[in-house]
Structure 1
């Protein structure tokens, strides 16, 4: 039609030239987008379930009170729990990563050891959250309700399934304070973009998850010290 009108046919072409993207593929898939959040969520809540159950058993059987009466302090009890549960959490983390990258062949552009370190910190955060739940409630049923009740908000609001940029502005503010939001973005940057610790998008995730570990551990120590019964 442009030729019949004595016009340059190039005027009808799309004025944008699509080149090869700098990061990622030209045809991205949802699996690579959701996989980092799914991996962190699995490790986090597996750690929550194990540690909260172990701590509650000790409380309900009176072992925790006997340790406190014997002169063992709250931080010492917490340290012993962290050391014993860490080996279980580490084995879970290794198994999840092997299944994710060997069997499902997820995209891995960055350093695998950064991914491992972030997953271990995430597991420690889940352990610490489990300790808080175990010290705050009295029965296994209540601990299960609290753990499962926290699962849905974290999955829905941490950018695991729905991008944070597409959320309502108030929700974007709330998600910044959730424990898995920044680590998910950090792991996504490592896996798909190959960024290292010198990038703010990566080290902010490590800072965020480390801060939550400290907060949960302090809360656990305070609950062990002041909560009676």
Structure 2
């Protein structure tokens, strides 16, 4: 039609010409491979939240927390004792999740498996610390369950698990970047699908963000416990 109208046919040619195989992944990418790293971290994170969100509430209701304070036990000692004991259970949950994801469901992983394990454990520890924040704030177990469930949907929808943050509006994208799972999801996706190592910016940002959120949640838990104690 362009030639019949005496118009150069180059005008209607595609601007981008795909002539070589893609650097990362197949020609037709799978949504399963895209979403699997985010779902793995989400499962591990909220399993850890469920593990610890009622730990301090039960002790407070049974009077064990007050007895510990009277005996001279510091809030930091109570908190870190829970972290150490619950961490063992969380490691078992993480190992099972990784086995099912990689061995049973055959999710593709072309990167370093050790980095995948470490980042997943860090996110599990981050979920534990978030659960302690919920447990320190709430006085009833049902309130803790509602708070944990209420944080689930915004985290899943805005962390780039299903909806890529590049497709969000600018304001919403900045909010998503400050969620605990966002940068870790991007890092795990880069490791599993692209084979990137720790030297890449997107990868070590995920590790730094996970460690930073762990520290933030632990400090918040300590401050809330000290405030409620006094």
Length-normalised TM-score, structure 2:
0.92
Count of residues in Structure 1 that have an aligned counterpart in Structure 2: 225
1:20 is aligned to: 21
- TM superposition shift of 1:228: 4.2
1:116 is aligned to: 117
- SS at the partner of 1:227? helix
Question: For residues 139-189 of structure 1, what are the alpha-carbon distances to aligned partners after superposition, in whole Å with 9 as ceiling and x for unaligned?
Answer: 010000100000010000010001101111110011111000000000000
Question: For residues 13-49 of structure 1, what are the alpha-carbon distances to aligned partners after superposition, in whole Å with 9 as ceiling and x for unaligned?
Answer: 8782431111111111100111111000110111011
1:51 is aligned to: 52
> How far apart, CA to CA, are the structure 1 residues paired with 2:56 and 2:228?
14
1:148 is aligned to: 149
1:208 is aligned to: 209
- SS at the partner of 1:195? coil
> How far apart, CA to CA, are the structure 2 residues paired with 1:70 and 1:114?
42
> How far apart, CA to CA, are the structure 2 residues paired with 1:16 and 1:48?
47
1:13 to 1:150, Cα distance in 2 relative to 1, 3 A: closer
Extract structure 1 runs of 4+ deviating beyond 4 A: 12-15
1:178 is aligned to: 179
1:220 is aligned to: 221
- SS at the partner of 1:165? helix
- TM superposition shift of 1:74: 1.0
> How far apart, CA to CA, are the structure 2 residues paired with 1:13 and 1:67?
75
1:193 aligns with 2:191: no
2:6 is aligned to: none
1:102 aligns with 2:103: yes
- TM superposition shift of 1:54: 2.1
> How far apart, CA to CA, are the structure 2 residues paired with 1:17 and 1:222?
56
1:37 aligns with 2:38: yes
Q: Which consecutive residues of structure 1, in runs of 5 or more, have no partner in the other structure?
A: 3-11
> How far apart, CA to CA, are the structure 2 residues paired with 1:55 and 1:92?
21
